[in-house]
Amino acid sequence: MADFTIVIGNKNYSSWSLRPWLVLKQTGAAFDEVVVPLDMPDTAQNILRHSPSGRVPALKHNGITVWDSLAIAEYLHELFPDRGLWPTERAARAHARSISAEMHSGFSALRTHHPMRIRTIEAPRDLRPDVEQDLKRINTIWTDCRRTFGKTGGPFLFGGFTIADAMFAPVVTRLRSYSIGFTGPAGEYADALWDHPHLREWVAAAKAETYAAPIHEKWPPIAG
Ligand SMILES: N[C@@H](CCC(=O)N[C@@H](CS)C(=O)NCC(=O)O)C(=O)O
């Protein structure tokens, strides 16, 4: 049994689970996974066995339980300070933390109306103005980061892969699912993140999942 166990929801829908799972993969540590299928009659009681908030993700490590995606990411950064989970330079790190918090607390129009559904590919459709607004802000964040902090070290927001990239990974899967195209530096970044081997691994597992909650086939969707 590994030192770490991450408790997550369905890989097809659980965007909040994807984020710290990517961070945990980036540490290189071995871990076990517990997948709790969401929106089933026994989901709430199953999650509460692992997470006091009644929500996934949660991380268990040496008798400590950490829940909420960003708290898990910070905990892993504390344990693995040499893994570059946050940028090393202070200004870049402050920026990375700011955009990660902005993702964590914001973009509710995009999250509500275009929930993560990795297995789904939809034809392009007209976007609501509030969704357009969210996408415009995300495009600006990505473009600014690539131009200011991402000039060297790799194709990600701060060069090498950081927690900020993990926070935005579910946006990249949404761009694919809802046939929304970004161009220029933001588009190149989206392609690079989509190609990241750990995101590919999650996407392959989402496609292979054999359980699905009927509620997710209905409209309106639930923010994810
Ligand atoms: N702020 C939390 C959000 C967690 C969250 O909403 N998780 C959803 C799944 S993506 C959940 O646990 N839903 C279970 C339920 O509502 O029964 C985080 O960042 O981890």
pLDDT given at position 220:
41
Q: Which of 13, 16, 34, 174 to mutate to test the pocket of ligand 1 (most atoms within 8 A of CB)?
A: 16
Give pLDDT tens digits for 98-139.
999 999 999 999 999 999 999 999 999 999 999 999 999 999
**Can you tell me which atom of ligand 1 is nearest the CA of 55?**
12
Look at residue 214 in the predicted model and tell me its pLDDT: 63
pTM of the model: 0.95
CB 116 within 8 A of CB 206: no
> Ligand 1 centre from 57 Cα, in Å?
7
Q: Is the CB of 69 under 6 A from ligand 1?
A: yes
The residues with which 158 forms a beta bridge, in sequence order, are 160
Residue 80 pLDDT > 60: yes
What pLDDT is stored for residue 216 in this prediction? 60
Integer angstrom CA distances of residue 146 from 115, 118, 159, 178, 211: 26, 25, 8, 24, 38
Percentage with pLDDT > 90 across the chain? 92
CATH of region 4-82: 3.40.30.10
| Conformational region of residue 43, where left means phi above 0, alpha means psi within -120 to 50, and beta covers everything else | alpha
Domain spans of the chain, in order of start: 4-82, 85-204
Average pLDDT for residues 22-28, to the nearest whole number? Answer: 98
* Cα–Cα dist 121/126, whole Å: 15
Residue the block writes with tokens 């997710």:
216
Q: Are 30 and 61 in contact (CB under 8 A)?
A: no
Asked if residue 52 lies in contact with residue 68, where contact means CB atoms within 8 angstroms, the answer is: no
Q: Is the pLDDT of residue 201 over 80?
A: yes
Mean pLDDT, to the nearest integer, of 61-82?
A: 98
- With tokens 């699912």, the residue in question is 177
Residue corresponding to tokens 């330079």: 89
The band of 210, judged by pLDDT with boundaries at 50, 70 and 90, is confident
68 lines ligand 1 (CB under 6 A): yes
**Ligand 1 site, residue 14, Cβ cutoff 6 A:** yes
The contacts of residue 46 (CB under 8 Å, 6+ apart) are 36, 40
Identical fold, 4-82 and 85-204: no
Residue with CA nearest ligand 1 atom 15: 55
pLDDT for the residue 139: 98
The atom number, within ligand 1, closest to the CA of 57 reads 20
Give the atom of ligand 1 at the shortest distance from the alpha carbon of 17. Answer: 10
Residue 63: DSSP 8-state:
T
State whether the beta carbon of 56 lies less than 6 angstroms from ligand 1: yes
* Amino acid (one-letter) located at 198: H
Please give the number of the atom of ligand 1 that sits closest to the Cα of 67: 20
When pLDDT is averaged across residues 31-40 and rounded to a whole number, the result is 95
Per-residue confidence band for 2, with pLDDT thresholds at 50, 70 and 90? confident
CATH architecture of 85-204: Up-down Bundle (1.20)
Pocket test for ligand 1, best of 56, 66, 72 (most atoms within 8 A of CB): 56
**pLDDT 10s digits, 144-171:** 999 999 999 999 999 999 999 999 999 9
Point out the ligand 1 atom lying closest to the alpha carbon of residue 68: 20
